[in-house]
Amino acid sequence: MNKLLTVSPSPHVHTNDTTQKIMYRVVYAMLPVLVWSVFVFGLDALRVTLIAVVATLAFEYLIQKYLIKIKPTITDGSALITGILLSFNVPSNLPWWIIVIGALAAVGIGKLSFGGLGANIFNPALVGRVFLLISFPVQMTSWPVNTQSGVDAVTAATPLGVIKESILNGVPISDIIGKLPSPVDMLIGNIGGSLGEISAILIIIGGLYMLWKKVITWHIPVAVIGTVAVIASIFWLINPEVYINPVYHLLTGGLMLGAVFMATDMVTSPMTPKGQIIFGVGIGVITISIRLFGSYPEGISFAILIMNAFTPLINNYVKPKRFGGKQ
């Protein structure tokens, strides 16, 4: 019998789960949010997402093929996620060339300059977003009013912008509360803002889907949202005329989007549950600090990027419980 047999070390079986499948599950989880953004902002939202996705994939392909000279990995799904997330983080009326610049910053600086998938320290979509926020502050903060309640071209401040203004100008909360949308509108997403951040409920549904499919664990989202809720509540209880009801902090701005879809990015978050909780609490503390005391109305992007930088350190010091270690 001369049959040639394959010889390799054990294990000889492998789960049929793949990195690509995990990535596409994240994409599926984001679809309801995308559909809602089209419903609210019209086809402009679709335009932004398509430009972001195509630009992200194109830059990944071109840089890998012609600059780094390796086999392009655009089919693994990670660049697709970056593109969608980038579009979720910008207003729907953003000019196309700004989106393209954002995609280049996200993929080129945020991902490939570190060595590509798995090697990047910072969340690529957030690198793109913050790059744009600093470079094009006007365009990045003019929000279209949602099409159902008014005219397309009108822009208005987001709820967080209104709140920040009241803090900075010393206007009591009772004077501005009427200008803010109702909590129900905020929950459903009948408010202004970036494409993907408006509907808290759809983001939570996406998060639950990812939990069910074991793409993420509960630790990071719960730690982020819980920390913001606790700190915002404490300040609100101390002085409700200066600090707004924590419900507004939870349901407006990018908190939900950040906590569920961006802080949970596997590559840039810690490996152990304990480390993930430290990471999430850190994001929560920085976010609410910027919102209450900083000059920007919103702080989740910066908070996640700052904690991304701490991830290697957390991994180094927070170890899983060893079997047979010190009891």
Partner 1 sequence: MLKTFKLGGVHPPENKLSADKKIEILPIPKTVFIPVAQHIGAPATPTVKRGDEVKVGQIIAKSSSFVSTNIHSSVSGKVKKVDLSGDSSGYSKQGIFIDVSGDEWIEDIDRSENLVKEFDLDGRKIVQKIQDAGIVGLGGATFPTHVKLVPPKGMKAEVLLINGVECEPYLTSDHRLMLEKGDEILVGTQILMKAMNVEKAVIGIENNKPDAIKLLSEKVKNYKGLSVVALKVQYPQGGEKQLINAVTGKEVPSGGLPIAVGAVVSNVGTAFAVYEAIQKNKPLFERVVTITGKGVANPSNFKVRIGTATTELIEAAGGLPENTGKVISGGPMMGRAIASLDIPVTKGTSGILLMPEQESVRGDYISCIRCSRCVSVCPMGLEPYLLMTLGEKHVFDRLEDEKVMDCIECGSCSYTCPSNRPLLDYIRFGKAKVGQIMRSRKK
Nearest CB to partner 1, comparing residues 189 and 221: 221
Nearest CB to partner 1, comparing residues 7 and 151: 7
- State which H helix or E strand residue 54 sits in: helix 43-62
| Closest approach of partner 1 to the CB of residue 261, in Å | 15
Give the separation between CA 238 and CA 127, rounded to whole angstroms.
35
The answer to whether the beta carbons of residues 295 and 311 sit under 8 Å apart is: no
The answer to whether the beta carbons of residues 169 and 157 sit under 8 Å apart is: no
Q: Is residue 9 near partner 1 by the rule CB under 8 A?
A: yes
Nearest CB to partner 1, comparing residues 44 and 265: 265
The binder of partner 1 chosen from 49, 64, 78, 146 (CB under 8 A)? 78
User: What are 178's two structure tokens?
Assistant: 């009427």
Which residues ranging from 118 to 137 are in contact with partner 1 (CB under 8 A)? 118-119
Nearest CB to partner 1, comparing residues 14 and 69: 14
The answer to whether the beta carbons of residues 29 and 210 sit under 8 Å apart is: yes
DSSP letter for each residue of 173-226: HHHHGGGSPPHHHHHHT-S-SSTTTS-HHHHHHHHHHHHHTTSS-SHHHHHHHH
Q: Pick from 129, 97, 84: which is nearest to 298 by CA? A: 129
- Using CB under 8 A as the binding criterion, the count of chain residues that bind partner 1 stands at 40
Q: Is residue 298 near partner 1 by the rule CB under 8 A?
A: no
The binder of partner 1 chosen from 54, 58, 73, 145 (CB under 8 A)? 73
Nearest CB to partner 1, comparing residues 78 and 287: 78
Give the separation between CA 173 and CA 175, rounded to whole angstroms.
5
The binder of partner 1 chosen from 148, 269, 298, 314 (CB under 8 A)? 269
Nearest CB to partner 1, comparing residues 146 and 264: 264
| Closest approach of partner 1 to the CB of residue 273, in Å | 8
Q: Is residue 266 near partner 1 by the rule CB under 8 A?
A: yes
Q: Helix or strand or coil: residue 118? A: coil
Q: Is residue 325 near partner 1 by the rule CB under 8 A?
A: yes
Q: Helix or strand or coil: residue 156? A: strand
Q: Is residue 179 near partner 1 by the rule CB under 8 A?
A: no
Q: Which residues bind partner 1 (CB under 8 A)?
A: 1, 3, 5-15, 17-19, 21-22, 73, 76, 78, 116-119, 266-269, 271-272, 315, 319-325, 327
